[in-house]
Amino acid sequence: MLVAMEFDLFILNGVVVLENEVGEFDIAIKDEKIAKVVPRGGLEGMVTKKTIDAQNGCVMPGGIDSHVHLNEPFIMAGGRCADDYESGTRSAIAGGTTTIISFAPQSKNEPSLLAALKETHELADSNCYSDYSFHALCTSAGPLAISEFPALRAAGISSLKFFMAFEDLQLHDDEILDVLLAARRNQMTLLVHAENGQVISWMTKQLEKEGLFDPKWHISSHPPVAETEAASRAIALAGFIDVPILIVHVSQPAVAETIRAAKKLGLPIFAETCPQYLFLTRDDLDKPGFEGAKCVCSPPPRNASDHEGIWRGLEDGTLTVFSSDHCPFVYEDENGGKKSSISKEYPNGRFQYIPNGCPGVETRLALAFSAKRLKLQKFVEVSATYAAKMYGLYPQKGALIPGKSDADVTIWYPEDESFTLSNKMLHHNVDYTPYEGQTLNQWPRYTILRGKVVWDRDAGGVVGNKGYGKFLERGVSSLAAPLRPEHDWNARDF
Ligand code: URP
Ligand code: ZN
Ligand code: ZN
Ligand code: ZN
């Protein structure tokens, strides 16, 4: 006699966002994978251990946040980020994100990228609630770092970020060329922080000379040209070496326009934007007292009138991924790394010493989903699918493909009910959210990671366990390829 297969979980009655259509489908999960996606009612008569009734709510792949800083030392901050791998990934699942990609930062005294990777594994392994991987973070591109690219690939790290800004962190053009060429030869995806560090330093000096120290002057110290110039230079250098790049945290429509033009020329240029550039404005840095420090990040939030151009960039594919750039610092705390500027090492109240970065891993999806600005499929593409493709995780992540995709699912409520966002609701280790008081109409009801419910908003909140999150070895990007991958780059060709 044949024994009927027993599934682990059914998700019934959802409006499911698939890559080619949105519709009424039921989902069966078995052994941590999506096993079946069938028209509603199609699982009748089959056996399962557990069922979730989505009640016509939206069902989509779990969010992928491909730009998250956890437990990193920050030179400027005189401390570490406020979230470690435990609190940061707990915050991620509570907001519907099932995979994060954080950074393995090279340190000043230790030029080895592999040493940084080992150290970051020690911080993350057995501490995560979500699945996770790391981008290498290169702040000094010496011969040792460059020689380690093949070993990084063998260790499942297929992407690397570098800075064009910040003394002590930034690479100069010759080092950038070394990194671009090594990335091309090893099929690594590069993330570029495109701001001109010297423009920022020069502007900071001008402002300080005039006695302008308040948080709002951070915006003037990062003028639009610092970002437009660096983005154009990054595109030019990447074109010279013929290697794909992704420009992170794009803040201005003018930069989006430059990227759009590069794409039209057929160049493999990709880009990212973040909630700060859709939901914050320069006014948020001009709050009474030192409160504006809470929203200091780089590039800074721009004008409200710029938001439209950033949304349009996401809509038309100019901006490929929407991630949080979660870079958490407490506002009021004595343990260093704080934003409220009262520490011995750093003179009080000067914007240049405010740690750069905002928390946002938990609020990213709810902010964008509540805004109802993007079509459902576009929302899923920019918040999950494209990151999976960009960083070598697809179709294991970022999709709901039977037999191929992990059963990572976010289920939303069937109806909108407005509520006011407050930091009290959140699970990060930060004493504020930049989005305090914003009206939202959606929050993930369930987060499911590899078939297991890890967030149940109405019954228990975070119900996943620390250590369930797995390290993800990543392969090559399925979006980004050099124009001529078959040719080795050769100086004699020029
Ligand atoms: O201000 C920011 N973005 N802080 C995080 C570090 C970075 O540049 O991504
Ligand atoms: Zn230099
Ligand atoms: Zn950056
Ligand atoms: Zn960042």
Q: What is the pLDDT of residues 256-309, one digit of tens each?
A: 999 999 999 999 999 999 999 999 999 999 998 888 999 999 999 999 999 999
Residue-by-residue DSSP string for 185-233 = HHTPEEEEE---HHHHHHHHHHHHHTT--STTHHHHHS-HHHHHHHHHH
Neighbours of 200 (CB within 10 A): 24
298 CA from centroid of ligand 4 (Å): 8
Looking at residue 97, its pLDDT comes to 99
> Which one, of 370, 369, 392, 396, lies nearest residue 382 by Cα?
369
Question: What are 228-261's pLDDT values in tens digits?
Answer: 999 999 999 999 999 999 999 999 999 999 999 9
User: Is a pLDDT exceeding 60 seen at residue 44?
Assistant: yes
- Pairing assessment for the beta strands 73-74 and 79-80 based on DSSP bridges: antiparallel
Residues 113, 117, 118, 121: what is their CA dihedral angle, to the nearest 10 degrees?
Answer: 170
Looking at residue 485, its pLDDT comes to 73
DSSP letter for 383, please. Answer: I
Q: Report yes or no on whether pTM surpasses 0.95.
A: yes
Query: Is the Cα dihedral 449, 94, 314, 13 positive or negative?
Result: positive
Looking at residue 9, its pLDDT comes to 98
> Alpha-carbon distance 173 to 236, whole Å?
11
Of 1-5, 129-133, 378-382, the one with minimum mean pLDDT is: 1-5
- Nearest CA residue ID for atom 5, ligand 1: 357
State yes or no: ipTM above 0.90: yes
The residue-averaged pLDDT of 207-215 equals 93
Probe target for ligand 1 pocket from 139, 272, 297, with the most ligand atoms within 8 Å of CB: 297
> Would you say 47 and 61 are in contact if contact means Cβ atoms under 8 Å apart?
no
Beta bridge partners of 132: 100, 471
Tokens of 332: 């009021």
Please, what is the average pLDDT of the chain? 94
Looking at residue 344, its pLDDT comes to 47
Ligand 1 binding pocket includes 357 (Cβ within 6 Å): yes
> Alpha-carbon distance 418 to 407, whole Å?
29
User: Is a pLDDT exceeding 60 seen at residue 75?
Assistant: no
Tokens of 422: 């407050």
The residue-averaged pLDDT of 207-221 equals 94
Instruction: Work out the pLDDT band at 334, boundaries 50, 70, 90.
Output: low
Looking at residue 289, its pLDDT comes to 81
102 CA from centroid of ligand 4 (Å): 9
Ligand 1 binding pocket includes 325 (Cβ within 6 Å): yes
Question: What are 388-420's pLDDT values in tens digits?
Answer: 999 999 999 999 999 999 999 999 999 889 999
172 CA from centroid of ligand 2 (Å): 6
Question: What are 458-491's pLDDT values in tens digits?
Answer: 999 999 999 999 999 999 999 987 777 778 888 8
Atom of ligand 1 nearest to the CA of 67: 9
Ligand 1 binding pocket includes 356 (Cβ within 6 Å): yes
Looking at residue 78, its pLDDT comes to 60
Q: What angle do CA 123, 430, 251 make, to 5 degrees?
A: 90
Ligand 1 binding pocket includes 193 (Cβ within 6 Å): yes
DSSP letter for 284, please. Answer: G
Using a pLDDT cut of 70, give the percent of the chain over it: 96
Of 91-95, 98-102, 123-127, 348-352, the one with minimum mean pLDDT is: 348-352
Tell me the CATH architecture of domain 63-377. Alpha-Beta Barrel (3.20)
200 CA from centroid of ligand 2 (Å): 14
Looking at residue 80, its pLDDT comes to 81
Looking at residue 419, its pLDDT comes to 98
DSSP letter for 491, please. Answer: G
Ligand 1 binding pocket includes 117 (Cβ within 6 Å): no
Probe target for ligand 1 pocket from 81, 249, 351, 353, with the most ligand atoms within 8 Å of CB: 249
> Which one, of 124, 242, 85, 105, lies nearest residue 163 by Cα?
105
Q: Which residues, other chains included, contact 280 with Cβ-Cβ below 8 Å and sequence gap of 6+?
A: 295, 301, 358, 434, 435
The residue-averaged pLDDT of 124-136 equals 98
- Nearest CA residue ID for atom 4, ligand 1: 357
Ligand 1 binding pocket includes 298 (Cβ within 6 Å): yes
Using a pLDDT cut of 90, give the percent of the chain over it: 86
User: Is a pLDDT exceeding 90 seen at residue 112?
Assistant: yes
Looking at residue 49, its pLDDT comes to 98
- Pairing assessment for the beta strands 419-420 and 97-105 based on DSSP bridges: unpaired
DSSP letter for 158, please. Answer: -
> Alpha-carbon distance 303 to 427, whole Å?
29
Look up residue 165 and give its amino acid: A
Neighbours of 492 (CB within 10 A): 4
Probe target for ligand 1 pocket from 71, 168, 327, 430, with the most ligand atoms within 8 Å of CB: 327
